Structure 1
């Protein structure tokens, strides 16, 4: 009997507690405004060094009826990024919703001031900012980038998203970096981050994204030009297609590479001596040539492809080693192979990495000279 009374008493407390509990803090959709993009810059106010600009979707009855995209903007300076956001919340009668924001643009000056840890602390702590958001660098600043609306942009989907979502353009010159990758690399410390640079062509009013910025702790950001950006993408397995210009032995042609395979690892000879082994396979056909090409000379064309690409890839990696940057993550490969009590320190690794022997080979695979009717 006492046992039954205890059960009844427990059930009564559960029922009373559930009645007293309040419901979830649900708000109607018309009480919210959705943030499309976030721009973080350096402000002109020394006391409030951060400038935050938000690009907001304007409500519309139907995307079919909308003749052009409609956005509004909020901008504010703050001593911290959170302070600027809190101040902007007082500018709108609706709740700022960051859950649909896909793009975060960092001003170039902010990045060069080495504010990466402060930026990440703000972005990671907010639960409504997606970790799969793309993170980029805006030149000359982030605010101009998100306020730019190119001709022909759809009202339903900002044009900038097409560059990074994999459903629009596919080019080896665009680096795609997600927020979780950026955070992981900075926290890891044995690999450097590469962020795409977004610029505006003021004459034609369109975006140009074919360069990238290499970020490493306690070092100046290092800019990769278009060629080096494409090489990084091929080596890091971020792209599967590329066009390579080959100029060898009087030949001048474009190799259309439709399959890129790369494999690299760290070979440890002794605790302080390492070698970097890189193997790359390139398969494709000839896309363009300044003179007639015949299939029986494919062996010669492959040899030219091998020679040219080995020179370019070796130059790129040698440049990275010389300047102490590791965008491919050789440091992570080394760290994974050596026990913690036998591992070099980060400083010792950096020195060994600079002096490492490079073994790079390219396996060419041009299958045809293209189709000419």
Structure 2
């Protein structure tokens, strides 16, 4: 009996059906063989945080630290388990390849939420070069948090607070704002840091995490970069006020030592507006600050509300002008003033140079009211 023929092309005979089935079976086998590169979950090591430091070895100047979560069946408070692996290399990619020889499983970076950069390294090495590997890694998410670390990134990764359930979860919830709402903490995501590195007239700003032993940390300062390196580290008070000017927080406060008075602004009624204007050949930054707030603590009866209001207005102007002068001296622009001027066609030259030539005008509107059952 002759095999069945399928007339696929008019006037020609097609291949026998068994031969076509054989070809299809071969293709199906090839597709299945290509899927063998998949790694089961028990063959993966999930990297939850990374750190890059200066090693001190000229031959291998970078020290890379990976924080790997160790899965447990029962998650208990204070019993989070993790593994730290450290290796030196000329590049981050080289150090990671060296680390692969220290672990039996394949590294999985899809859960990497934190990227720490040692302060010493940030002062010596361009930020673009440090973040280049993280940008190119397709498995690292753009919403990963980036921060400076002191005394080192490795020390920050070793921090494990007693109440922590998951490795580095305390640092993550603090830095992304899902936990504490401290006005001293700056939020910096990888995608935004990269944008600031390449956008003219807008410079990166990173929070500074200080490791206080292995059980505690402190986040109250921030580091400012130009398009290359770390140029300025702000104090806690300057960090708070810069976050307020950037619109990241409205929880600002004022403490007056002479009258022993603590003023807390209402987060729902505190706002700021930045406007770059052209005044002849010069550019002027107009800062409008509006604050409504209450007196949370007062230990002297000497000052009346109008006097307190005038004192807060003077303090607002002093804070703003002092901070802007520091930004001018360092040549950094975390507020994006050069970008604002370029968007309005006011930057005749390089937007990066706008911050150095600006004049300032600060306008305030302050309303102070008492709280509770205390009447004065």
Structure 1 equivalent of residue 254 of structure 2:
244
Structure 2 equivalent of residue 54 of structure 1:
66
Correspondence 1:81-96 to 2 at 5 A: 81-96=92-107
1:14-61 alpha-carbon deviations (Å, 9 max, x no partner): 998566434544322111111111010111321111110001101211
Query: For the Cα contact (< 8 Å) 2:185–2:219, is it kept in 1?
Result: yes
Structure 2 segments unaligned to the other structure (5+ residues):
1-6
Structure 1 segments unaligned to the other structure (5+ residues):
none
Separation (CA, whole Å) in 2 of partners of 1:55 and 1:286: 44
Does residue 31 of structure 2 align to residue 30 of structure 1? no
Residues 41 and 323 (structure 1 numbering): CA distance in 2 closer, same or farther, change over 3 Å? closer
Deviation at 1:120, TM superposition (A): 1.8
Does residue 210 of structure 2 align to residue 199 of structure 1? yes
Query: For the Cα contact (< 8 Å) 1:240–1:258, is it kept in 2?
Result: yes
Decide which of 258, 266, 269 is 2:266's aligned counterpart: 258
Structure 1 equivalent of residue 324 of structure 2:
317
Decide which of 313, 332, 344 is 1:306's aligned counterpart: 313
Separation (CA, whole Å) in 2 of partners of 1:108 and 1:5: 77
Q: CA RMSD, aligned part only? A: 2.9
Query: For the Cα contact (< 8 Å) 1:63–1:156, is it kept in 2?
Result: no
Structure 1 equivalent of residue 4 of structure 2:
none
Deviation at 1:138, TM superposition (A): 0.8
Structure of greater Rg: 2
- Report the TM-score when normalising by structure 2: 0.86
Separation (CA, whole Å) in 1 of partners of 2:122 and 2:167: 30
Query: For the Cα contact (< 8 Å) 1:246–1:308, is it kept in 2?
Result: no
Correspondence 1:170-181 to 2 at 5 A: 170-181=181-192
Separation (CA, whole Å) in 2 of partners of 1:304 and 1:225: 22
Decide which of 339, 345, 354 is 2:349's aligned counterpart: 345
Deviation at 1:336, TM superposition (A): 1.1
Structure 1 equivalent of residue 3 of structure 2:
none
Decide which of 342, 345, 370 is 1:335's aligned counterpart: 342
Deviation at 1:220, TM superposition (A): 5.3
SS at match of 2:295: strand
Separation (CA, whole Å) in 1 of partners of 2:294 and 2:127: 42
Correspondence 1:1-373 to 2 at 5 A: 20-22=30-32, 24=35, 25-64=37-76, 68-155=79-166, 158-202=169-213, 205-217=215-227, 221-246=231-256, 251-259=259-267, 260-270=270-280, 272-292=281-301, 297-338=304-345, 343-346=347-350, 349=351, 351-366=353-368, 368-372=369-373
Corresponding pairs, count: 358
Separation (CA, whole Å) in 1 of partners of 2:222 and 2:347: 31
Separation (CA, whole Å) in 1 of partners of 2:300 and 2:245: 30
Residues 363 and 79 (structure 1 numbering): CA distance in 2 closer, same or farther, change over 3 Å? same
- Report the TM-score when normalising by structure 1: 0.87
Separation (CA, whole Å) in 1 of partners of 2:11 and 2:365: 80
Deviation at 1:157, TM superposition (A): 6.0
